[in-house]
Structure 1
Amino acid sequence: MNMDAVVMMAARNSRRADEILTLADYRLRYSSYRSDKQLQALHANFPMIVNTDDHETANDAWEGGAQNHSVDEGDWNARRNAAMQVWREWLPVGEQPWKEYAIGDLATYYRTDTRAVARSKPYSHGDLARAGDPAKAFAEFRDGAWRDPSMTMLGTEQEAWLSRSMLGDKSTWALLGTGTNMGYSYTPENAMDWVPRVAPERAINYVRQGIAAAKAGLPYNLDNWGGYPTARSRILSAAQRADANLVVITGDSHNGWAFDLPEAGKPAGVEFGGHSVSSPGFESAVPFTDPSVVARSLLDASKQELRWADTSNRGYMHLALTPQAATNEWVFMQTVKDISLATKTGHKMKVRPGRKVLEQA
């Protein structure tokens, strides 16, 4: 569970409005979050295995810094270490940055770190778009730096642990918890139609950059696994060698996703991407466009892997495992503006052992 899921819920209690940088800052912010009665009830009723992502430290974090960390904010290592110390002070987790958990002989859950330990600095579509010839820059990037085998999410030690563990795993399901989407999605050519004329220039440029990237065959997000294709291939190839029934569980995007994950033309696993409990997603960036139109366009542009998407609902996922199937339900809340457990019609998909592709449930 990363902090995206509770920021909006607990922000009303925060006693500091500016950015948090120090050990004292993080302790104050966590004490505010953890005072939320709904969050306390959640922990009282359910055991948790918690995963980190960027908002435990700063936005779009990597091993040596973050998009939202500047030189005038002090030493990155000191900030990151303070954040992770407080994370461990407040949350039920040990010292290990990654670990496997056996669920009888039914499944093994692999908790990973894809931010603080060894993640390479991600590339930016914006840097490519500012080149004199953006189309040429995107094409050269696609054929060169994008495929750099040294670009890593996990680092060599964690990758070796994961590959070795999957190879020796005899359980029915291999569940991989990772912070960001592993499946590729692409910005459709008609995405500019979603953006209002009065939108901030930053939002307009982001969509333009995504369209240019898609024309070059590049995913829209280089901060998720879309920016680390060779590292992704190594993980999926390891799952294929182990003949694992791989189910990847992800978050961070604030929207719901379902992906098939092929490697070298063969199924390697599936992904269930979780939406956020309360933080806004696509609907906040394109408020005047029918969410079904956005989702349909994303599906059409991302046919190789994307099987379903929701771009407007808040809620959570419920994954049910049996020897016969792994069935995921995206639960949609009726509202997050009031405290309520009321839900509306969600969505279900499943995967069966040995199939490694998604089906409707």
Structure 2
Amino acid sequence: MKRPVTRRDFLAMSAKGVGAAVVSYGLMGCSSDDDNNGIYAEFLHGLASGDPSHEAVIIWTRVTPEVDGDIKVAWEVATDSDFSQLVVSGDTITNSERDYTVKVDAVGLEAGTKYFYRFKTGSKTSQAGMTKTLPQGAIDSVKLAVMSCANFPAGYFNVYEMASRMDDLDAVIHLGDYIYEYARGEYASERAAEMQREVLPEGELFSLSDYRTRYGQYRSDLSLQKLHGKTPFITVWDDHEVANDSWRDGAENHNDGEGDFDARKEAALQAYFEWLPIRPWREGNNEEIYRSFQFGDLVDLHMLDTRLLGRDKPLDYAEYMDPATGGLDSARFMADVTDTNRTMLGQEQQAWLQTALLTSTAKWQVLGQQVLMGQMMLPAAIATQQLSIPEFGQLAALAQIAARQAAGDPTLTEDELTYLAFFADKLTPEAMALLQLPAIPYNLDAWDGYAYEREVVLATAKSMGKNLVVIAGDTHNAWANVLKDAGGEPVGVEFATSSVSSPGLEYYLGIDEKDIPATEEAIVGLVDNLAYANLMNRGLMTLTFTHDEVRSDWRYVDTIYTRAFTEAVERNFSMVTKAGSHALEAAS
């Protein structure tokens, strides 16, 4: 039985927003020219900023010392690139206990203002980074870049490079899978040696040292460094920051003989907080990352953890298949997937989100989270991989022609009859039975596997007439959905980004490139409320908010296998939703 939310719980949840008291490293007065007792150190991993508020921003770097020891690092924030107009400065000590990372909560800043920042240690000065605080009051527009799923051995980070060339972004929203935990030669590593992108350490990640080493390799990528140094990040984790298909108590990729999962998760999340410019609620709390950001009166962005904090173990179709008949026990499956006790967010996070949605006055409510919320219902034969999409389409077409022939339809053409005659042997009783199976969720790791809690979130937004926009990553493909509740009423829209480098459905389903457009069209036709799909290209998504509409622009690169790339403009696509409409339409 779930524990009721107490007054103490509510007060704690109410504090979880921008402006909550947090640990602040390095607010220690003037900078120092201390030589660190002769220890030489360099800034090899760039710098970064993140979690901007109206009056503060996290700034980050890492020093690489020649020998272990305490390193004093000074920091400066200024309104000009020459640092002649310093606003705040200070120094702090870093060492091996925090993997020589430096994380400063630079407070006392002005809202809606661009700043420059840098670090110094001994005689070394880092490059200068740019960041900006969140605006307050009435504003006209907000532009965000959304990305996820960067697998180092799968290809070059050309998507990060493309984003680093954009000069009008207010923030980068990273929805997880910032790193991957797999060993060398595993997932999507076919060309890693050729590109000199084999992972470090060589083995799968289990220990704190393992995760730290992998983050260090990722942050050595110059394209990622450029983007971090130019635009503040707002991040959440997904599963691969720990292990594939994680939930609160385990993961698909955590197996017998691999040690204690809680210890592995603790190590992974500590490394995440060390290496990402994310603000903790309090020092040592590496588990809670749900939080809100207010962009003036226009956008409230609520970042959620749908992965590690409260998620129940994902359902698995294999557990509902009859081994004798190969059929799906639909009744038992539907009872489990709609169970009112089944949770993805957990009670406390759900209550916090409901409070945030009910009390916000911003024009747009945006949920930044990892997995698809839109209903992705596919024919069961496809969802359970008993038929491919082309096979299902062919059988459905043949069955339709056969039904028309049996009914004596005089409009049947000679070509249709010839087609039926040539492939009639495919319409076996087994094939016809597969065609009759109902539509079921394609991906039980997404919100489709947690249907009741999705209804709670949608009902909360609907009750206040909110302009709801959900953003998602995880699938490595781009999507746009109209979000409807169980009664079929539209409540909001969802925009999902492609991946930085991880392969998508074209990889998993073995779809030939020439068949991609037809497959995309078929999926959009098969899935109710789905308005757009891109199954092939690596890229990102930008969202531009005004008081009248939100525009989503999906932008793609032509390759991730060479550092030289161009934008694949022929595959780019844009959609808009108007305030109050909960509808999607293609944009010019």
Given the two structures, how large is their TM-score scaled by the length of structure 1?
Answer: 0.90
Report the alpha carbon displacement of residue 213 of structure 1 after superposing the two structures with TM.
Answer: 11
Task: Provide the rounded CA distance (Å) in 2 between the counterparts of 1:177 and 1:156.
Answer: 18
Q: How does 1:162-311 map to 2 (within 5 A)?
A: 162-188=353-379, 191-192=387-388, 194=390, 215-263=437-485, 264-285=487-508, 286-288=510-512, 290-303=515-528, 305-311=529-535
- CA distance, structure 1, for counterparts of residue 201 and residue 313 of structure 2: 29
- CA offset at residue 330 of structure 1? 0.6
| Structure 1 counterpart of 2:305 | 113
Q: 1:306 to 1:254 in 2, by over 3 A?
A: same
C-alpha distance 73-6 of structure 1, shift in aligned 2 (>3 A): same
Amino acid in structure 1 at the alignment position of 2:213:
L
State the match for 1:205 in structure 2: none
Tell me how far 1:237 sits from its aligned partner.
0.6
1:216 offset after TM fit, Å?
3.3
TM-score, normalised by the number of residues in structure 2: 0.56
Q: Is contact 2:481–2:530 with CA below 8 Å preserved after alignment? A: yes
Specify whether residues 193 and 105 from structure 1 end up closer, same or farther in structure 2 by C-alpha distance, changes over 3 A only.
closer
Offset of 1:116 from its aligned partner? 1.1
CA contact (8 A) 2:298 2:363 kept: yes
Name 1:202's counterpart in structure 2.
none
Whether the 8 Å contact between 2:236 and 2:289 is mirrored in structure 1 is no
- Distance in 2 separating the partners of 1:19 and 1:225: 28
Q: How far apart are 1:110 and its partner, in Å?
A: 0.4
Asked if 1 retains the 8 angstrom alpha-carbon contact of 2:498 and 2:541, the reply is: yes
* Partner SS, residue 331 of structure 1: strand
Distance in 2 (alpha carbons) for counterparts of 1:275 and 1:3: 7
1:350 partner amino acid: V
Shift of the 40–136 alpha-carbon distance from structure 1 to 2, 3 Å rule, reads: closer
In structure 2, C-alpha distance between the alignment counterparts of 1:117 and 1:213, rounded to whole Å = 39
Structure 2 residue identity aligned to 1:156: Q
Q: 2:212 matched to which residue of 1?
A: 27
Local SS of the residue matching 1:307: strand
Deviation at 1:130, TM superposition (A): 5.2
C-alpha deviations, 1:174-207, integer Å up to 9, x for none?
0101101111223455752659xxxxxxxxxxxx
User: What stretches of structure 2 of length at least 5 have no aligned partner?
Assistant: 1-145, 158-191, 281-287, 392-432
Which of the two has higher C-alpha Rg? 2
Rounded Cα–Cα distance in structure 2 between residues aligned with 1:78 and 1:3 = 25
Change (3 A) 1:254 1:86: same
Task: Say whether 1:349 aligns with 2:572.
Answer: no
Given candidates 141, 145, 151, the residue that maps to 2:336 is: 145
Give, in whole Å, the separation in 1 of the partners of 2:466 and 2:325: 43
C-alpha contact 2:557 2:565 (8 A) present in aligned 1: yes
CA drift of 1:45 comes to: 1.2
Tell whether 2:272 aligns with 1:87: yes
Q: Secondary structure at the match of 1:116?
A: coil
One-letter amino acid matched to 2:352: W
Q: Distance in 2 between matches of 1:294 and 1:159?
A: 36
| Whole-angstrom CA distance in 1 between matches of 2:205 and 2:234 | 25
1:27 and 1:155 map into 2 onto residues whose CA distance is 28
Q: Distance in 2 between matches of 1:213 and 1:31?
A: 50
| Structure-1 separation of matches of 2:436 and 2:585 | 27
- Which stretch of the first structure deviates more once superposed, 263-272 or 279-288? 279-288
Q: In structure 2, do the counterparts of structure 1 residues 299 and 356 end up closer, same or farther at CA, with 3 Å as the change threshold?
A: same
Give the deviation of 1:131 after TM superposition. Answer: 3.9
Shifted more, 163-172 versus 133-142: the winner is 133-142
Amino acid in the other structure paired with 2:315: Y
SS at 2:274 equivalent: helix
Amino-acid identity (%): 36
Which whole-Å CA distance do the structure 2 matches of 1:324 and 1:3 have between them? 27
d(CA) in 2 for partners of 1:27 and 1:214? 51
Separation in 1 of the partners of 2:389 and 2:438? 20
Classify 1:228/1:67 alpha carbon distance in 2 versus 1 (closer, same or farther; 3 Å): same
2:226 and 2:211 map into 1 onto residues whose CA distance is 22
Contact 2:468 2:493 in 1 (8 A): yes
CA RMSD of aligned residues (A): 2.1
Cα shift readout 1:301-329 (whole Å, capped 9, x = no counterpart): 212x2111111111100111111110001
CA distance in 2, matches of 1:122, 1:47: 33
Cα distance in 2, alignment partners of residues 212 and 149 from structure 1:
30
The answer for the alignment partner of 1:339 in structure 2 is 563
- Alignment-derived partner of residue 52 in structure 1: 237
Provide the rounded CA distance (Å) in 2 between the counterparts of 1:104 and 1:166: 16
Which of 260, 265, 268 is the aligned partner of 1:75? 260
1:127-146 to structure 2, matched below 5 A, reads 127-129=319-321, 131-142=323-334, 144-146=335-337
The number of residues matched between the two structures is 344
- For the Cα contact (< 8 Å) 2:322–2:329, is it kept in 1? no
Structure 1 CA distance, aligned partners of 2:247 and 2:463?
A: 29
Give the aligned residue type for 1:352. Answer: K
Instruction: State the Cα distance separating 1:242 from its structure 2 match.
Output: 2.1
Partner Cα distance (1:279, 1:243) in 2: 37
Helix, strand or coil: the match of 2:551?
Answer: strand
Residues 221, 136 of structure 1: CA spacing in aligned structure 2 closer, same or farther, 3 A cutoff?
closer
1:4 aligns with 2:142: no
The aligned counterpart of 1:159 is 350
- Could you tell me whether the CA contact under 8 Å between 2:147 and 2:499 is conserved in 1? no
1:329 aligned onto 2:553: yes
Q: Secondary structure at the match of 2:542?
A: strand
1:123 is the counterpart of 2:315? yes
Separation in 2 of the partners of 1:113 and 1:134? 35
Alpha-carbon distance, 1:334 to partner? 1.6
Task: Work out whether residues 3 and 55 of structure 1, in 8 Å CA contact, stay in contact via their aligned partners in 2.
Answer: no
Offset of residue 358 of structure 1: 1.2
Partner Cα distance (1:333, 1:106) in 2 = 30
2 CA distance for matches of 1:13 and 1:92? 25
Instruction: Find the aligned partners of 1:236 and 1:280 in 2 and give their Cα distance.
Output: 30
The C-alpha deviation readout for 1:34-84, integer Å capped at 9, x for no partner, is 111111011011111001110110000001100110121111111011101
Q: CA deviation at 1:13?
A: 5.2
